[in-house]
């Protein structure tokens, strides 16, 4: 608080306090007094009168002195000031009304209805009371701030209709952008910006201070109109994430309580295959609680949902999360060289790497390999199989079209070579899929020599990520006596080298085709051309291929997270000519160009990018902005604005008014005391 004086020089008038003091001193009795005659009999009476006069005179002196001081203070006009006031509308000729339509404004107010409903009523009533000459604009804060009116308009009836038509959104608060749009509407010509907001969300108001400063510099003024509930409270789902573990893993749900009292809320998760799991969660006041939901050992991958029951804000009662396929991942293994004994089989090591404890163990989790001869490619099921191993198949021609369609729709094909493979037949049948055409088989070492070693791979690639913590050196122990060579190629966005042999010879190549991928292994998957199956890295690498390439979290080529109200972009394969976004309640408005589809989700839940005749291209888990769930009031807009424009946001107490009333009261007191003294003298 600060004390200011309108006329500080007037304090010099306090010297007039000497006047009543002198008046009382002049009335002093003479010092040389002699008693004589009968007057001696009256000595007792003057003493009594003198005692009474001394008390009354002092009170009168004090009253007269205070009267002079009160008059002087009134003339000096002191004021007490402190920040935090909410200014009233000052009669500007240009007004911009900012209405907060973000999710937190759906909180129930104290007068019935939501805070947004109250803001609409008050803003509409304000506009109706404006002079006809006042130009008005309207801006919204929800999501990305937007204009309701293109500019300032004088048709107040139109503005009232537009304000009444503002609908509640589940979006976040872009207060900074809204004040920027309002400032641009005023165009530096001055005016006022009235902001109807609940001031909820940590840091939301503070972030707008720079725009408030610019508004002030351009002769504009901000007038807050806070919308608050007396006891704001809300329960919200803060996050939901899947983590692997015992059984089928767990979904960890974090629930936040933004209210003053502890609450127990019912919660349930719904898995992509329709399985529901329910529980009750106790959430302390102003804190968070976590609840783990155990997922079954076998579950379909996709986007799962979490639901809670809370009446304060319904938009944050649901959250979505990505769930991988849990249980056996079916992999089709096509054997091109069965051999005379099981150990001599081309896929003997591959089958055991995919299912180390046998097929029955794969039924409860992990990978379930479907073993078949080349003719079994006819059983390829794009809905069940995500990964196909073609091991040393002599002529893939009869099934080429089926394999091309499988990859184009999002499947992954791994081709391993061997003595049965003829470069000409393979190139002719799978020209569209091969990363580079085959040339011929080449010997790298003479019989009895150790063979040429493999170069260590890049562990930043998801395929080799399991070796990031150890075991990477095992790749150097893989040695090759013979491999297929390929035509020269250049690594780019579609074709890249994943593994190579010392000397720059490609060992594992990848090509993206349609929505899927093709991996070309220029060696053998068995021990005929090298010692690969006998090394410690064999099984982890095969398992990583099955997990990374063969399992999709939602049957889609990619997964993504997004926030309601925020623009989202998803890349799609170059071969896709048509795509759209499907939300929980149907097709969502989107634009598709330059290899990406762009949309702004308007509700929480699972969204999919789809294209006719293809599996889902992407799965997007959309959730609301948790900042909006915190309905508690943080820094007030008035306080933030006062730091920029302190004069306008000052509380003022005019102390001189109280001095005037005190002076008038003292006048009455002086008159009364004077009359009392006269009556006592008369006695």
pLDDT value at 39 more than 70? no
Beta bridge partners of 560: 620
Q: Which two tokens stand for residue 162?
A: 């537009």
Provide φ and ψ at 652, rounded to 5°. Answer: -125, 130
Provide φ and ψ at 385, rounded to 5°. Answer: -100, 130
- pLDDT in the model for residue 71: 78
Query: Per this entry, what is the length of the chain?
Result: 683
pLDDT value at 55 more than 50? no
Provide φ and ψ at 170, rounded to 5°. Answer: -95, 25
- pLDDT in the model for residue 493: 84
pLDDT > 70 fraction of the chain, expressed in percent and rounded = 84
pLDDT value at 683 more than 50? yes
pLDDT value at 416 more than 80? yes
Mean pLDDT of 131-158: 95
Task: Please state, in angstroms and rounded to a whole number, the distance separating the CA atoms of residues 51 and 49.
Answer: 5
Task: Please state, in angstroms and rounded to a whole number, the distance separating the CA atoms of residues 191 and 179.
Answer: 13
Contact 519, 439 (CB under 8 A): no
DSSP strand pairing (482-486 vs 495-501): unpaired
- pLDDT in the model for residue 343: 83
Q: How far is CA 33 from the centre of its chain?
A: 95
- The pTM for the full model equals 0.60
- pLDDT in the model for residue 535: 93
Task: Please state, in angstroms and rounded to a whole number, the distance separating the CA atoms of residues 253 and 251.
Answer: 6
pLDDT value at 301 more than 90? no
| Same fold: 94-231+631-648 with 328-550 | yes
Contact 190, 158 (CB under 8 A): no
pLDDT value at 666 more than 60? yes
Task: Please state, in angstroms and rounded to a whole number, the distance separating the CA atoms of residues 470 and 144.
Answer: 46
pLDDT > 90 fraction of the chain, expressed in percent and rounded = 54
**What band does 57 get if pLDDT is binned at 50, 70 and 90?**
low
Helix orientation angle between 156-164 and 115-128, rounded to the nearest 10 degrees: 170
Which sequence spans correspond to the domains of the chain?
2-28+39-84+654-682, 94-231+631-648, 328-550, 560-626
Mean pLDDT of 7-31: 63
DSSP strand pairing (596-599 vs 590-593): antiparallel
What are the tens digits of pLDDT across the range 173-190? 999 999 999 999 999 888
pLDDT value at 280 more than 90? yes
- pLDDT in the model for residue 327: 60
> Worst-scoring range by mean pLDDT, 18-27, 102-111, 480-489, 500-509?
18-27
- The CA-atom distances, in angstroms, between 270 and each of 96, 204, 243, 294, 303 are 45, 33, 16, 12, 9
- The CA-atom distances, in angstroms, between 284 and each of 139, 261, 281, 319 are 38, 7, 10, 20
Number of Cβ within a 10 Å radius of residue 377: 20
Cα angle, residue 675 at apex, residues 671 and 676 outer, rounded to 5°: 115
Q: Which two tokens stand for residue 98?
A: 């900012």
Cα angle, residue 241 at apex, residues 240 and 247 outer, rounded to 5°: 120
3-state secondary structure 239-288: EEEEECCCCCCEEEEEEEECCCCCEEEEEEEECCCCCEEEEEEEECCCCE
- Nearest C-alpha neighbor of 324 from the set 12, 619, 631, 100: 619
- pLDDT in the model for residue 680: 67
pLDDT value at 396 more than 90? yes
Mean pLDDT of 648-662: 73
**What band does 552 get if pLDDT is binned at 50, 70 and 90?**
very low
pLDDT value at 53 more than 50? no
What are the tens digits of pLDDT across the range 578-637? 899 999 999 999 999 888 999 999 999 999 999 886 668 889 999 999 999 999 988 888
- pLDDT in the model for residue 575: 73
Contact 655, 5 (CB under 8 A): no
For residue 19, the surrounding DSSP H or E stretch is helix 18-26
- pLDDT in the model for residue 364: 41
Task: Please state, in angstroms and rounded to a whole number, the distance separating the CA atoms of residues 139 and 150.
Answer: 9
Residue with tokens 């009662």: 317
- Nearest C-alpha neighbor of 164 from the set 200, 117, 216: 117
Q: Give the helix ranges, DSSP H, for 577-633.
A: 626-629
Mean pLDDT of 159-181: 95
Task: Please state, in angstroms and rounded to a whole number, the distance separating the CA atoms of residues 571 and 607.
Answer: 14
> Worst-scoring range by mean pLDDT, 96-100, 303-307, 470-474?
470-474
- pLDDT in the model for residue 226: 93
pLDDT value at 44 more than 70? no
Structure-model confidence comparison of residues 271 and 386, the more confident one: 271
- Give the architecture (CATH level 2) of 328-550: 3-Layer(aba) Sandwich (3.40)
Task: Please state, in angstroms and rounded to a whole number, the distance separating the CA atoms of residues 33 and 39.
Answer: 12
Mean pLDDT of 82-98: 76
Task: Please state, in angstroms and rounded to a whole number, the distance separating the CA atoms of residues 149 and 137.
Answer: 6
pLDDT value at 268 more than 80? yes
- Nearest C-alpha neighbor of 305 from the set 289, 316, 296: 316
Q: Residue 286, exposed/middle/buried by CB under 10 A (0-12, 13-18, 19+)?
A: middle
> What residue ranges in 350-458 does DSSP mark as E strands?
366-372, 387-391, 412-416, 438-443, 452-453
- pLDDT in the model for residue 553: 44
> Worst-scoring range by mean pLDDT, 20-24, 119-123, 142-146?
20-24
Structure-model confidence comparison of residues 357 and 549, the more confident one: 549
**What band does 404 get if pLDDT is binned at 50, 70 and 90?**
very high
Which range of 120-129, 246-255, 354-363 scores highest in mean pLDDT? It is 120-129
Please give the DSSP secondary-structure letter assigned to residue 72.
H
Contact 105, 172 (CB under 8 A): no
CATH of domain 560-626: 2.60.40.10
Please give the DSSP secondary-structure letter assigned to residue 334.
E
Q: Which two tokens stand for residue 482?
A: 């013979």
- pLDDT in the model for residue 32: 53
Average of per-residue pLDDT values in the chain: 85
Task: Please state, in angstroms and rounded to a whole number, the distance separating the CA atoms of residues 602 and 334.
Answer: 46
pLDDT value at 306 more than 80? yes
Mean pLDDT of 89-99: 87
- Nearest C-alpha neighbor of 333 from the set 383, 390, 379, 385: 390
Mean pLDDT of 335-352: 88
Query: Class for domain 94-231+631-648, per CATH?
Result: alpha beta
> Worst-scoring range by mean pLDDT, 4-13, 214-223, 297-306, 463-472?
4-13
Q: Which residues contact 310 (CB under 8 A, 6 or more apart)?
A: 234, 235, 236, 263, 265, 317
Mean pLDDT of 370-379: 88
Contact 326, 249 (CB under 8 A): yes
Structure-model confidence comparison of residues 135 and 370, the more confident one: 135
Mean pLDDT of 356-380: 70
């Amino acid at each position: 608080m600060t004390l200011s004086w309108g006329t500080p020089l007037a304090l010099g008038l306090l010297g007039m306090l000497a006047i009543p003091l002198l008046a009382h001193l002049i009335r002093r009795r003479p010092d040389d007094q002699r008693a004589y005659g009968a007057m001696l009999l009256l000595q007792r009476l003057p003493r009594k009168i003198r005692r009474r006069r001394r008390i009354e005179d002092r009170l009168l002196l004090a009253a007269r002195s205070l009267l002079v001081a009160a008059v002087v203070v009134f003339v000096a006009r002191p004021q007490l000031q402190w920040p935090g006031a909410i200014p009233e509308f000052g009669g500007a000729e240009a007004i911009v009304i900012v209405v907060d339509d973000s999710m937190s404004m759906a909180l129930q107010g104290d007068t019935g209805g939501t805070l947004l409903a109250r803001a609409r009523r008050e803003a509409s009533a304000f506009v109706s009371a404006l002079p006809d000459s006042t130009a008005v604009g309207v801006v919204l804060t929800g999501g990305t701030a937007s204009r309701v009116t293109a500019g300032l308009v004088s048709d107040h009836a139109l503005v009232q209709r537009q304000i009444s038509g503002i609908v509640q959104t589940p979006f976040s608060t872009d207060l900074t952008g809204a004040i920027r749009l309002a400032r641009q509407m005023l165009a530096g010509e001055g005016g006022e910006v009235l902001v109807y907001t609940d001031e909820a969300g940590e840091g939301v108001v503070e972030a707008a201070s720079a725009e408030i400063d610019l508004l002030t510099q351009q002769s504009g003024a901000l007038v807050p109109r806070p919308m608050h509930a007396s006891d704001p409270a809300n329960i919200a789902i803060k996050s939901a994430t899947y983590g692997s573990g015992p059984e089928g893993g767990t979904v960890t749900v974090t629930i936040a309580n933004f209210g003053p009292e502890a609450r127990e809320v019912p919660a349930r998760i719904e898995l992509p295959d329709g399985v529901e799991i329910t529980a009750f969660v106790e959430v302390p006041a102003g804190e968070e609680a976590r609840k783990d939901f155990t997922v079954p050992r076998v579950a379909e991958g996709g986007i799962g949902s979490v639901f809670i029951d809370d009446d304060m804000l319904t938009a944050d009662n649901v959250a979505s999360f990505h769930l991988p396929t849990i249980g056996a991942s079916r992999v089709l293994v096509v054997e091109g060289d069965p051999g005379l004994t099981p150990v001599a089989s081309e896929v003997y090591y591959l089958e055991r790497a995919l299912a180390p404890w046998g097929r029955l163990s794969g039924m409860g989790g992990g990978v379930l390999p479907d073993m078949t001869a080349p003719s079994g490619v006819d059983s390829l099921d794009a809905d069940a199989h995500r990964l196909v191993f073609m091991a040393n198949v002599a002529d893939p021609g009869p099934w080429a079209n089926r394999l091309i369609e499988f990859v184009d729709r999002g499947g992954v094909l791994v081709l391993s070579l061997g003595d049965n493979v003829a470069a000409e037949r393979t190139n002719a049948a799978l020209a569209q899929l091969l990363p580079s055409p085959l040339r011929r088989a080449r010997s790298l070492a003479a019989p009895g020599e150790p063979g040429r070693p493999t170069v260590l791979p890049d562990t930043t690639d998801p395929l080799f990520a399991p070796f990031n913590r150890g075991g990477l050196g095992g790749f150097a122990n893989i040695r090759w006596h013979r491999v297929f060579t390929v035509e020269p190629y250049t690594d780019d966005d579609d074709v890249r080298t994943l593994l190579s042999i010392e000397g720059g010879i490609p060992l594992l190549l990848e090509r993206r085709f349609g929505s899927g991928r093709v991996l070309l292994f220029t060696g053998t998957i068995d021990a005929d051309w090298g010692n690969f199956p006998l090394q410690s890295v064999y099984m982890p690498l095969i398992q990583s291929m099955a997990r990374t390439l063969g399992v999709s979290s939602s049957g889609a080529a990619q997964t993504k997270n997004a926030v309601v109200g925020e623009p989202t972009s998803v890349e799609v394969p170059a071969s896709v000519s048509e795509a759209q976004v499907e939300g929980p309640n149907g097709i969502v408005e989107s634009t598709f160009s330059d290899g990406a589809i762009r949309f702004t989700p308007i509700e929480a839940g699972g969204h999919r990018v789809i294209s006719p005749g293809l599996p889902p291209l992407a799965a997007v888990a959309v959730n609301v902005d948790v900042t909006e769930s915190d309905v508690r009031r943080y820094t007030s807009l008035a306080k933030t604005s006062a730091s920029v424009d302190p004069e306008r946001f000052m509380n003022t107490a005019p102390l001189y008014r109280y001095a005037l009333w005190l002076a008038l009261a003292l006048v009455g007191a002086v008159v009364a005391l004077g009359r009392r003294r006269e009556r006592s003298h008369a006695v």
